[in-house]
């Protein structure tokens, strides 16, 4: 009987394949790390940019954007007859001029609202904040009648509020941040705990209506949870 000799892979060939697979996996992981780092830097940059624009507005007009009681007259930012859901009607661009943006515990309710708003309503001032900055030419996009809320690198909406998440003073809030990213930001910029310090977080999807203060699961970040992160200005 004649036996057919079957050829197989040599150890050298197998080693070469394993090296190639390892390089491919390493390249993918490195690419993911670069993307994550880029998004982290964008969040940090957005936070710094919003703070700079806010203080520039205050320095220029002696009012806070969103809280500015003279915004309508200053920028003529209204439509005489605004279609439903578009821009402001006369006078509704104004804040109440009390020196703070909003009242601190309502931002989760109003962050998706686009328009219109009641004139001087402090609960709605965070929704006017970005429109005032656009009207002043301090941030790009739209015009003074454009209330569109910017989004973060992770797709969540960005808001601003006084005293939100029990932090004294104004905070910028980035919505829908992944838990592992929140942990990195905390380690880089604050004390590492979700419920203390100048950065505090709340389960983005675990609450409805008003926020409750500190992070819903205490001081740690869960990789499977998305958070609303508040950065004190």
Residue 9 is assigned to a structural domain of this protein: no
Note down pLDDT in tens along the chain; length 233 residues: 555 555 656 766 677 777 777 766 766 656 677 778 888 888 988 999 999 999 999 999 999 998 898 888 888 765 444 444 444 455 667 888 888 887 655 555 544 444 445 544 544 777 788 888 888 888 887 655 566 678 888 888 888 888 777 788 888 888 889 888 899 999 888 988 888 888 988 887 765 443 444 444 567 888 888 888 889 98
Whether the CA torsion 218, 185, 140, 60 is positive or negative: it is positive
The total of structural domains in the chain comes to 1
Q: What is the maximum alpha-carbon separation in the chain?
A: 102
Q: Supply the range of the domain harboring residue 140.
A: 36-232
The contacts of residue 108 (CB under 8 Å, 6+ apart) are 207, 208, 209, 210, 211, 228
Residue 228 is assigned to a structural domain of this protein: yes
Q: Measured between alpha carbons, how far is 7 from 103 in angstroms, rounded to an integer?
A: 76
Residue 100, phi then psi, degrees to nearest 5: -135, 155
Using an 8 Å Cβ cutoff, are 185 and 203 in contact?
A: no
Residue 22 is assigned to a structural domain of this protein: no
pTM above 0.85, yes or no: no
Residue 194 is assigned to a structural domain of this protein: yes
Q: Could you tell me the CA-to-CA distances from 139 to 4, 39, 51, 70, 130 in Å, in that order?
A: 76, 20, 11, 19, 8
Residue 199 is assigned to a structural domain of this protein: yes
Residue 7 is assigned to a structural domain of this protein: no
Residue 20 is assigned to a structural domain of this protein: no
Residue 178 is assigned to a structural domain of this protein: yes
């Amino acid at each position: 009987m004649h036996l057919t000799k079957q050829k197989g892979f040599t150890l050298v060939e197998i080693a070469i394949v394993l090296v190639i697979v390892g390089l491919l996996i390493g390249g993918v992981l490195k690419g993911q790390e670069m993307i994550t780092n880029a998004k982290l830097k964008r969040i940090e940059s957005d936070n710094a940019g919003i703070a700079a624009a806010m203080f520039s507005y205050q320095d220029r007009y002696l009012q806070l954007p969103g809280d500015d009681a003279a915004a309508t007259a200053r920028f003529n930012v209204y439509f005489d007859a605004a279609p439903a859901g578009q821009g402001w009607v006369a006078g509704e661009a104004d804040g109440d001029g009390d020196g703070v943006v909003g009242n601190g515990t309502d931002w989760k309710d109003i962050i998706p609202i686009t328009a219109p708003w009641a004139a001087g309503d402090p609960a709605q001032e965070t929704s006017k904040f970005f429109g005032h900055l656009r009207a002043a030419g301090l941030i790009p996009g739209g015009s003074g009648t454009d209330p569109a809320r910017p989004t973060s690198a992770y797709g969540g909406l960005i808001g601003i509020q006084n005293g939100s998440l029990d932090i004294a003073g104004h905070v910028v809030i980035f919505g829908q941040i992944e838990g592992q990213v929140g942990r990195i930001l905390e380690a880089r910029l604050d004390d590492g705990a979700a419920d203390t310090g100048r950065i505090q977080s709340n389960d983005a999807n675990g609450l409805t209506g008003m926020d409750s203060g500190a992070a819903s699961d205490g001081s740690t970040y869960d990789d499977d949870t998305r958070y609303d992160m508040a950065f004190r200005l």
